[in-house]
């Protein structure tokens, strides 16, 4: 008996369907590779799916299988290791594989977005033989287009030709019908950051002699890279120590291997232009194409970039956390810059952490993963202490430049001296004036946008609150509006108090808008620019402002966390933290760690060039441990103190923290189901799982929903999540209840 030639494939549908479905490959189609995108019949319609495996056997007749309809691309769109990663993510983060797959594949590909075409016009031989004087009398507009094309050495863009000849598209179509001109169509790749704004993105286009510490770091990395085995390395280098140069040398070393690929993750879209510019200047001279990937690109740019990566044309990808899913094959190196940043945590399902996925994907590929930071997370430092990660330290800045001096300003004294709330202290004011006179630049950091934090009536105590959230509305002087930063809800500022009709209502507290106004009053001749979510609403505007700042056209930059890390401005000699206490007293066990990291990172923007830098830290709690440790750059001292506190309470990194958030528009119902869910959990007695709560979330109400949370402390996430998921499925949730689980939660508010 001849063997059955039918090829059987399992397909994961990019929809809500969780289990893979089995299909046959018809004889007229070539066998699709694992990771190929296919169109399949499903019930009475069709769906897109990814070929996930070739089952050895099936438990029903092959004759009953339906055929896949089409293989959409002749190469896989998802790397095979990413399919394994997706399965692990579903078990670890408590979501479905379908939810992960939906996150992986770009929207432009799922929607069937086509390639961008460039259409040019060229004369045919018949067109070149047309008698122009005769044509000019009968059809002068047709003659105008033919004359234009005759004057050009080659094909001309169709829109440009129609515009230059001052004719309508109909005239052009008539000449095509006659066979006198022809259309030449060419697909054009839409590539992110290949535009007029890219010129200012390149920082270091030439090779630099390595410092002693950089050379030691590179020499340490080379045998690790050559071993081609899984190895996480923490590159702990102070700000300005030249970690980027070490990254570039590691990339150059790896990319000498034919077909090897690499991934470079940055925490914020804002850092991508600088990194892309540097890597393109240094790597594309070697014939290595660098592509950028993040959610702020257009769907067309993402679609074309994804296909270039899948075809193997782009061997290096730079991007934010979602770049971890790009279809790189033969992945040899992953770099996670600023690995401590909370921005690597996805706050929508699946709630993954980009750094942790980078480590796991490196493990799947027997690759090296470099985690770089001046202020590593306690989780990574703990992994160094227990021997899971290797560490390379760089303790000095390039060219032995000194770290900036730090001056702590006690704002309590400023209040007593000035008899009022002070935004810019006297020491900071003097330094701003000094730097402006010297033509040096300054950065002022405050992680709160808007003009005032809230609007209040002094007569009756009324505070402008969001109707849908349990937080005050922020006053924005531009537009004269009150705005909720959680939902975008906004209303005009009332002329009188809605409660007592007093005209004395006013804003209290301050944000970046007020800081900008105060600085402009102090330095009216200075060019002051503000960067926050309110101003960065135009495509490429952020890159343009940073380019202007780098070239010296802006004197003072005021901004939020968008300017706090990773950016390199050689002429910045003064950095100020306007309110260093803001993150210190959040309801978050990481508050001290984040404050310390923020102080060190923001301070690191100063003195990166030839001139020495200075940092002003304005605080009402100058003796707080994170502030004092940051002032001395005493990372080991801070680590020892903080790790002992975490050990005492058995907080991460000693256990994993899982947050379960339950939401409902009815607060009684939210609490009722949270209490009953807790009883359901207690009855199951999950081993090695400590449960706390339920309690109201710190921000109790968002977007009209009341929020109740439980905490799970687990030693082994996958085992605990498996049992929690089973209990979630057996528990009868009300249709009005929304709930989600966040493993290794970062946002605790």
Rounded Cα–Cα distance for residues 23 and 11 (Å): 7
- Domain coordinates in residue numbering, the chain: 7-76, 116-188, 204-398, 405-451+510-646, 656-743
Taking the alpha carbons of 541, 608, 579, 381 in that order, is the dihedral positive or negative?
positive
Structure tokens that stand for 374 in this block = 């001046």
pLDDT for res 435: 93
pLDDT digits (tens, 9 = 90+) for 154-168: 898 898 899 998 999
pLDDT for res 564: 65
pLDDT for res 536: 66
pLDDT for res 725: 93
pLDDT for res 220: 97
Architecture of the CATH domain 405-451+510-646: 3-Layer(aba) Sandwich (3.40)
pLDDT for res 129: 87
CATH class of 656-743: alpha beta
CATH number of 204-398: 3.40.50.300
pLDDT less than 50: residues of the chain: 1-3, 195-204
Domains 405-451+510-646 and 656-743 share a fold: no
pLDDT for res 196: 37
CA-nearest of 102, 120, 123 to 111 is 102
Rounded Cα–Cα distance for residues 343 and 111 (Å): 28
Cβ atoms of 157 and 119 closer than 8 Å? yes
Helix ranges (DSSP H) in 438-471 = none
Backbone angles phi, psi at 466, to 5 degrees: -70, 140
CA-nearest of 97, 90, 94, 89 to 50 is 97
Taking the alpha carbons of 668, 673, 678, 680 in that order, is the dihedral positive or negative?
positive
Outline where DSSP puts E strands in 428-560: 441-445, 454-456, 474-476, 481-483, 490-492, 506-508, 528-531, 556-559
């Amino acid at each position: 008996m001849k063997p059955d030639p039918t090829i059987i494939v399992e397909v994961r549908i990019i929809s809500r369907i969780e289990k893979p479905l089995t299909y046959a490959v018809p004889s007229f189609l070539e066998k699709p590779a694992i990771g190929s995108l296919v169109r399949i019949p499903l019930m009475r319609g069709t769906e897109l799916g990814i070929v996930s495996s070739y089952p050895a056997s099936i438990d029903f007749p092959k004759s009953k299988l339906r055929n896949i309809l089409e293989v959409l691309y002749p190469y896989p769109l998802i790397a095979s290791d990413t399919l394994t990663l997706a399965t692990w993510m579903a078990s670890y983060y408590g979501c479905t594989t379908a939810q992960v797959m939906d996150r992986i594949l770009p929207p432009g590909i799922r929607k069937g977005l086509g390639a961008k075409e460039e259409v040019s016009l060229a004369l045919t031989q018949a067109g070149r033989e047309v008698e122009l004087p005769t044509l000019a009398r009968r059809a002068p507009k047709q003659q105008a287009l033919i004359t234009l094309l005759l004057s050009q050495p080659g094909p001309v863009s169709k829109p440009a030709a129609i515009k230059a000849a001052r004719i309508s598209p109909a005239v052009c179509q008539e000449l095509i019908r006659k066979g006198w001109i022809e259309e030449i169509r060419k697909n054009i790749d839409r590539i992110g950051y290949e535009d007029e704004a890219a010129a200012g993105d390149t920082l270091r286009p030439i090779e630099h002699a390595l410092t002693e510490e950089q050379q030691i770091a590179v020499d340490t990395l080379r045998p690790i890279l050559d071993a081609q085995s899984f190895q996480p390395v923490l590159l702990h280098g102070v700000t300005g120590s030249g970690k980027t140069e070490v990254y570039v040398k590691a990339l150059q070393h790896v990319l000498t291997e034919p077909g090897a690929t690499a991934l470079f993750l940055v925490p914020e879209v804002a850092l991508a232009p600088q990194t892309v510019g540097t890597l393109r200047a240094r790597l594309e001279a070697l014939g290595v194409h660098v592509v950028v990937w993040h959610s702020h690109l257009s769907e067309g740019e993402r679609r074309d970039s994804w296909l270039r990566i899948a075809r193997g044309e782009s061997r290096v990808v730079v991007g934010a956390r979602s770049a971890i899913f790009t279809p790189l094959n033969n992945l040899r190196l992953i770099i996670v810059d600023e690995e401590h940043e909370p921005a690597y945590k996805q706050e929508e399902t699946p709630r993954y952490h980009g750094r942790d996925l980078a480590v796991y994907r490196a493990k799947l590929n027997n690759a090296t993963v470099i985690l770089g930071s001046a202020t590593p997370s306690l989780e990574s430092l703990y992994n160094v202490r227990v021997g899971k990660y290797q560490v390379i330290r760089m303790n000095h800045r390039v060219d032995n430049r000194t770290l900036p001096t730090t001056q702590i300003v006690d704002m309590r004294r400023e209040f007593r001296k000035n008899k009022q709330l002070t935004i810019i202290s006297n020491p900071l004011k003097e330094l701003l004036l000094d730097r402006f006179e010297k033509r040096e630049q300054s950065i002022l950091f405050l992680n709160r946008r808007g003009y005032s934090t809230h609007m209040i009536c002094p007569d009756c105590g009324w505070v402008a609150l969001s109707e849908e959230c349990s937080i005050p509305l922020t006053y924005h002087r531009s537009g004269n509006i009150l705005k909720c930063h959680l939902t975008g809800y906004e209303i005009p500022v009332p002329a009188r108090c809605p409660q007592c009709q007093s005209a004395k209502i006013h804003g209290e507290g301050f944000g970046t808008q007020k800081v900008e106004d105060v600085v402009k009053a102090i330095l009216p001749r200075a060019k002051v620019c503000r960067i926050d979510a309110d101003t960065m609403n135009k495509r490429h505007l952020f890159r343009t402002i940073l380019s202007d700042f780098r070239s010296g056209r802006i004197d003072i930059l005021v901004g939020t966390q968008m300017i706090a890390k990773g950016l390199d401005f050689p002429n910045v000699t003064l950095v100020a933290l306007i309110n260093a206490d803001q993150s210190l007293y959040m309801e978050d066990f990481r508050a001290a760690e984040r404050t310390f990291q923020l102080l060190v990172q923001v301070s690191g923007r100063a003195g990166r060039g030839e001139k020495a830098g200075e940092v002003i830290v304005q605080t009402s709690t100058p003796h707080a441990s994170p502030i004092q440790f940051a002032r001395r750059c005493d990372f080991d001292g801070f680590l020892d103190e903080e790790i002992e506190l975490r050990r005492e309470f058995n907080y991460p990194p000693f256990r994993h923290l899982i947050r379960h958030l339950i939401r409902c528009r009815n607060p009684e119902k939210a609490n009722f189901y949270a209490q009953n869910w807790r009883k359901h959990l207690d009855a199951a007695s999950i081993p090695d799982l400590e449960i706390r709560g339920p309690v109201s979330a710190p921000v109790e109400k968002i977007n009209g929903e009341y929020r109740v949370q439980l905490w799970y402390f687990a030693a082994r996430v996958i085992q605990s999540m498996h049992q929690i998921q089973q209990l979630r499925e057996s528990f009868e949730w009300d249709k009005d209840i929304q709930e989600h689980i966040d493993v290794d939660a970062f946002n605790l508010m």
